[in-house]
Each structure stands twice: as structure tokens, then as C-alpha cells.
Amino acid sequence: MSPGHAAAAVAVLASGEGSNLQALLDAAARGELGGEIRLVISDRAQAPALARAREAGIAVRFIDPATHATRAAYGATLQRSLEEAGIELVVLAGFMRILDPRLVEDYAGRMLNIHPSLLPRHRGLHTHRRALEAGDRLHGATVHFVIPALDAGPGVAQFRIAVQPWDSEASLAARVRLGEHALYPRVVRWVLEGRIAWEAGEVRFDGRRLRTPLVLSCDGLAFRSAAA
Ligand code: GRF
């Protein structure tokens, strides 16, 4: 991204509840996102995420999978919407659709996703259940740059929690979700500011190669980052 750019245009893609979208909208309203959420796109007309965006006065677009015969056709419509709105950064926040590889490649380094596990553990669905079944002692969420392979792009930052003996799928989901809300706006801001970038196959933070994702840990209600 271009550091110092006053209002980089961000699009958020969301299929569901949109609690991460809400965290991003709230950060933007506080002037803490470093950019402007210009467009929210969903593949579900009734997604609560779209209602949240409308409530915040953001332009929304429902792109109907049923009217697109192929993933490539869906990707082309999506890309047109992004280009028409002059979008510089695409933020996936619970977008439950695999994107066309061409679109992903065109937005390499300009598309982020958040996944509810400590990647590379537990790609795909049901991550909280799988973390419990595997007896993981640590769990959390990962923000990564998006590549065509699902949940496999280079990790940028993680939020980690200790799994407790009494944890259930629901309790893990709730704690991870809260952490996501702290993590995602911060990472988006750093990308928009140019502090985080994915260039020539390397994720860089403040110009230095990031060998492992930044970690945001939860200490009571205070969030600390090893890097900030
Ligand atoms: C989050 O758990 C995120 O990690 C995953 O999808 C979920 C979206 O939740 N990619 P919400 O719609 O933001 O509440």
C-alpha cells in the first residue's frame, strides 16, 4: 500500500454474521483503520453483514452465485465491482466462497483473510472442534495474505489463547472471535500504512522479513503485540 495515503479504499467480503466487519467499521469510525471501507460485498442477500454495512452508510453489493455459471464468471463480476470502486485492499471476513485463482493472483499482496485457527493447523472448517479433538493447548486466529490454495497464504499475525480444560467448541469460538476483532483492524491498518507488505515472496514488517507471524497475546483484557 502507499504509506501516508489518507484514505486508501478497502472492500470487505463477508457471507455471514459480519462481526469482524463490524470491528473494522468501528475502527474506521474511530479513525483507526488508516483507510476507508468503501464497499461491502456478499454472496448472500440476507447476510447480517450487509445490514451492518448499510447501517454504517457503506455501499453494498450482493453478487449472486446462482446467476454465475462458473467460479471464473463469479470472480470476473467481483473483480469488476472492486475495480469500479477503486479498491486497493480486499479484506475477507467470513466470505464462505472459494475465489477464482485469477482474481486472487491479481490481488496478490492486496488481499487478506482471517481464519479461526493457528495456521497451518486446521485449514478449512470446524476449526474449534478440531483443535479440541486434537488436544491442542494453544488455539487462536491467523491473518494471512490470500493465495489460490485455501487458507495456505503467508501468515501475517496471530491471536493466541490457551485452551482450558473446560473449553467447548462454543467457548473457544467466542474467545477466538473476540481476539479476531482486536487483531484484524490492527493488521489492516499496518498493511494500509505499508508497515506490512508481501513482496517477492516475503512478508515484511517495518522492512524486516517476518519469518513467523506477529503474535498478539491476550493478557486479561489488554492486548499486546510483540512487535508494536
Ligand atoms: C470468523 O471466525 C473468521 O475467522 C472466519 O469466519 C468467521 C466470520 O465471522 N473466516 P463474522 O461473520 O465476522 O462474525
Q: What is the pLDDT of residues 151-164, one digit of tens each?
A: 999 999 999 999 99
Q: Which three cell numbers stand for residue 213?
A: 507471524
139 is catalytic: no
Query: Closest ligand 1 atom to the C-alpha of 177?
Result: 2
The model's pTM is 0.94
Q: Which helix (H) or strand (E) holds 91?
A: strand 89-92
Q: Which atom of ligand 1 is nearest to the CA of 16?
A: 12
pLDDT tens-digit profile of 64-123?
A: 999 999 999 999 999 999 999 999 999 999 999 999 999 999 999 999 999 999 999 999
Q: Tell me the three cell numbers of residue 158.
A: 496471530
CB count in 10 Å sphere of residue 72: 12
Average pLDDT over residues 189-193: 97
CA distance 148 to 86: 22
- Taking the C-alpha atoms of residue 89 and residue 111, their distance in angstroms, rounded to an integer, is 6
Span from the CA of 151 to the centroid of ligand 1 (angstroms): 13
